[in-house]
Structure 1
Amino acid sequence: MTAGAALSSCGGGSSSTDPQRNAKAKTLTLTIARNAIVGGKNDAEAEWLTKTVIPGFTAAEKAKGLHVKVVYHGYGVDDEAYKTKTALDLKSKAGADIVSLDGIWVGEFAQAGYIKPLSDVVGARADGWDGWGQISPSVQQLGSFQGKRYGIPPSTDGRVLFYNRKLFAQAGLPATWQPTSWNDVLAAGRALKKLPGVTPLQINAGTAMGEATTTQGVLPLLAGAGAEIYANGKWTGGGTAMKQVLGLYQQIYGPSGLGDRKLQEEAKGRDKSFEEFASNKIGVLLEGVYLWRAVLNPKDGIAKMPDRDQAVGYALIPAMAPGKGVKGQSFVSMSGGSIATINPHTKYPQQAFDLLAYLNRPDVVKARIAGNPEVTSRNDVNAEALKGDPFLSYVAQKVLPITLFRPGLAAYTQVSTALQEATASVVAGRSPDDAAAQYGKKLEGIVGGPAHVNAG
């Protein structure tokens, strides 16, 4: 059974729960489930949970006169397999007390009735948690659905424009670059095109790059054109904003030759783009934090770049024109990440929330990222822990306040594929208007007809 089938098979939610049940229990067992296992997938996270969180929490509870045993259920499987198991557990009113979900699953699980708002499960203290003040409202979207919080996001990321300072210098472009419009980006591309053997611009397109095309391409550009892929109960169709996005793809991958069309069609095209960027063969690359931390990392990166810190610059993704982005923004981004939520069928909702809050305490979060800094959801932790990394500090301070997240709805996966196909057709030579119209028709078939689509 697929994850999608598991979720769609549930016709409604579970019965209402009592947030105060067993609130006075002195001896109890809580369980945590995550797709992380010691010695395997997400090893560092599993180590942190088993060696830092569990001993620390049980000691803290013991000091309050409570005897709490915490059991960790770690998995090391494909994300879809983990999603399916978690869905089946929650559907059957089983599973761990604290579960981890990809943020993109939140709406899907909520609509299936598998998870409930924290305020329903725990009561008023969920909204009164002091940590919310340290998590930007934009980042809180990751664990929210229809205006209600379903979980706490531990960390996140962001998308920016990375650029090669050495190539910029050769092309007569500034070492510190911040475009304020799509035209500025194209102008830099034209300047870079004068350099032999250099691909000026690389923005993911096509189906071979999969979800990277959507999150590191279409969605941030769509936000720059003033639209979100899903807003106010409707999906964005093939109207003006989508035509503008596909028009930009045409300007990059069309006759101007600012981008490498073949790269978008190769099975390993994205990996090749990493290698070419690290080898000073791509001028500008729209990518996420992953590129900096895991790909170009001079120590253990996939495509090590020894002079990364000096040679690589980064800039916010501009809207099509100043003030023309979604919510009137001049700069945009997309982010992702997971959340931790409370199983609505837990026997101990209050104690489970104590554990959830402990997982996201500043000192505990700092212990999680010690030795391998990342952008956490907490502003206070980022301000202290990321001081030694200018790029991650930049993302925390400049990107997170303006970022958006993908809609956590079951239809999104198919919508994403349709977006990838639209960009592929433009790269192959089809007109933006035709590609947008084809996407709009396909979208209606996916989401249940034109009533669910904003065609404008």
Structure 2
Amino acid sequence: MAGLAGTAFIGSLGRLNAQSVSLSVPWMGWPEEQVRPLMAAFENESGVAIAEERLPIVELFKTLEVRLQARNETPDVYLVDGPLTASYAARGHLLDLGELMAGERDRFVPTTLVQGTYNDTLYAMPLGTSSQLLFYNKKLFAEAGLPEPSADPAARMTWEDLVPLARDLTRPDSSQFGFAFENINPYQLLAVPQSWGAEVIGPDGLTAAGYVDGEPMVEAMSWYQALFQTHKVGPVGTFQTGVTQEMFGSGKLAMMVGGTWNLVGLNKFQDLDFGVAPHPYFAKGKPVTPTGSWHVGINPRTAHMDEATAFVKWLSTRDAMDLWFELRQYPPALKQIWEERADTTFVDPAWAIVRHELAETATPRPATPGYREYEEFLRTAMQDIQTGADVRDTLARAAQNIDREMRKYR
């Protein structure tokens, strides 16, 4: 599992003080078996210990804010959510990776570099990327006598087609719902207004008024609210990935827009027979799919710069990336992984769809140094809209709050 491409780089360090160095690395709270093997592979090659902290996503962000604001040597290396690159870089919390990754950029899928870059400088190395699929329960479709959605992106379902289909698959008497999004994170839901034609932030990356509360956004989010409040095809108040995945896996949800991690996560449901189809879109608009994922950055104040840079450089190797894909199944950031697995792993319909989306419809989240604030207020607004709040007033309030917070970046 060790990366041969990383060996030469690590060897150039002379393993200096390796046995006495332990890198502080805050990480996402994925299961240990999806994290520890990656860290162990680097440890085995370098002799440098990795003290990873697996934290739930909200706790990860809070922990990083506290530690980075202290402006000291910890953490050494940390997991960066793509759209937060600009925020961390603007505040001096990320090392410029231009020299470290010199000549390496062409190895990556182009869209993976977008959110690791701020002011034309690469600050965070892409660890993987992401895409979204429409998952559907084959058994529930068969029981309802309905044809399964096409896996051909050229024949993708429209949102207008999905609503009556979801109504046919909803069974209130048995608490079975027709459709839901996996969560209410803007990462997933922004594709709805973007497909409608909405611009979700101003061209300066700092203005929400007229965009977050603009008419296209209001119209698209009114459609979203109707799924739950008018058509009643989705479970109101279900906001978390784990809950929605459990509903889908247990046969209480017929269709779900969700991430590729479900291709592994749904395996725990032994009786589940599911299929996948491309992400729906509005007939009046265009196909848009969410993309962007986790990156890795270096604290410029680390006391272990040689070891930290060695770790990030190693993570960019083919072998480290291939191992990471085996562990977590995020769409690979390296072109080489796609090419090597083209006739094996990626012949699966799900991966054929993902590869198409990454090339044709993938749309990263807004690039703004204030993304953390933008996401926080917009997530709350989307949650309130789902549960019945006035759409126009809720978005206007969110835009006002976002613009107030953006002042410090101007």
Return the TM-score normalized by structure 1.
0.70
Report if the CA contact (8 A) 2:85-2:116 is conserved.
Answer: yes
Q: Does 1:264 align with 2:236?
A: yes
Match of 2:271 in 1: 306
Q: 1:395 to 1:347 in 2, by over 3 A?
A: farther
Gap runs ≥5 in structure 2: 1-11
Deviation for aligned residue 1:407:
4.4
Q: Does 1:110 align with 2:99?
A: no
One-letter identity of the residue aligned with 2:254: G
Q: 1:423 to 1:152 in 2, by over 3 A?
A: closer
1:48 equivalent among 35, 38, 43: 38
Match of 2:64 in 1: 83
Mapped to 2, the partners of 1:193 and 1:76 lie a distance apart of: 37
1:220 equivalent among 191, 200, 214: 191
Mapped to 2, the partners of 1:174 and 1:379 lie a distance apart of: 35
Match of 1:393 in 2: 351
2:156 equivalent among 176, 179, 196: 179
Mapped to 1, the partners of 2:349 and 2:334 lie a distance apart of: 17
Mapped to 2, the partners of 1:403 and 1:421 lie a distance apart of: 24
1:164 equivalent among 110, 120, 137: 137
2:74 equivalent among 55, 78, 95: 95
One-letter identity of the residue aligned with 2:60: D
Deviation for aligned residue 1:87:
0.7
Q: 1:99 to 1:425 in 2, by over 3 A?
A: closer
Deviation for aligned residue 1:112:
0.9
Match of 1:200 in 2: 178
Deviation for aligned residue 1:349:
6.8
Q: Deviations over 1:136-165 (max 9, x none)?
A: 222212312244321211123222221222
Match of 1:358 in 2: 314
Deviation for aligned residue 1:172:
4.2
SS state at 1:448 partner: helix
Q: 1:426 to 1:114 in 2, by over 3 A?
A: closer
Residues 270-309 of structure 1 mapped to structure 2, 5 A cutoff: 271-294=242-265, 296-297=266-267, 301=268, 304-307=269-272
Alignment identity in percent?
18
Deviation for aligned residue 1:221:
0.8
Q: Deviations over 1:103-131 (max 9, x none)?
A: 34312211112224322xx2xx63421xx
1:332 equivalent among 275, 282, 288: 288
Return the TM-score normalized by structure 2.
0.76
Report if the CA contact (8 A) 1:180-1:321 is conserved.
Answer: no
Mapped to 1, the partners of 2:179 and 2:141 lie a distance apart of: 12
CA RMSD of aligned residues (A): 3.8
Report if the CA contact (8 A) 1:382-1:393 is conserved.
Answer: no
Mapped to 2, the partners of 1:365 and 1:225 lie a distance apart of: 35
SS state at 1:35 partner: strand
2:279 equivalent among 308, 317, 330: 317
One-letter identity of the residue aligned with 1:397: R
Report if the CA contact (8 A) 2:186-2:379 is conserved.
Answer: no
Asked which structure has the greater RCO (Cα within 8 Å, sep 6+), the reply is: 2
Of structures 1 and 2, the larger Rg is shown by 1
Mapped to 1, the partners of 2:34 and 2:224 lie a distance apart of: 39
Q: 1:404 to 1:346 in 2, by over 3 A?
A: same
Match of 1:419 in 2: 378
Q: 1:440 to 1:156 in 2, by over 3 A?
A: same
1:151 equivalent among 118, 121, 124: 124
Q: 1:226 to 1:145 in 2, by over 3 A?
A: farther
Mapped to 2, the partners of 1:321 and 1:202 lie a distance apart of: 19
Report if the CA contact (8 A) 2:95-2:300 is conserved.
Answer: yes
SS state at 1:213 partner: coil
Q: Does 1:245 align with 2:223?
A: no
SS state at 1:265 partner: coil
1:73 equivalent among 45, 51, 61: 51
Residues 131-150 of structure 1 mapped to structure 2, 5 A cutoff: 132-150=105-123
Report if the CA contact (8 A) 1:418-1:439 is conserved.
Answer: no
Q: Deviations over 1:302-331 (max 9, x none)?
A: xx1434xxx312222233226x2xxxxx32
Mapped to 2, the partners of 1:425 and 1:25 lie a distance apart of: 52
Q: Deviations over 1:75-100 (max 9, x none)?
A: 344414541454146x23x2365443
Q: 1:372 to 1:265 in 2, by over 3 A?
A: closer
Mapped to 1, the partners of 2:26 and 2:350 lie a distance apart of: 25
Q: 1:395 to 1:379 in 2, by over 3 A?
A: farther
Q: Deviations over 1:22-46 (max 9, x none)?
A: xx98674576432359x99645433
SS state at 1:249 partner: helix
2:362 equivalent among 400, 403, 427: 403
Mapped to 2, the partners of 1:413 and 1:449 lie a distance apart of: 10
Deviation for aligned residue 1:135:
2.0
Moved more, 161-170 or 365-374: 365-374
One-letter identity of the residue aligned with 2:37: E
Report if the CA contact (8 A) 1:333-1:403 is conserved.
Answer: yes
One-letter identity of the residue aligned with 1:45: V
Match of 2:5 in 1: none
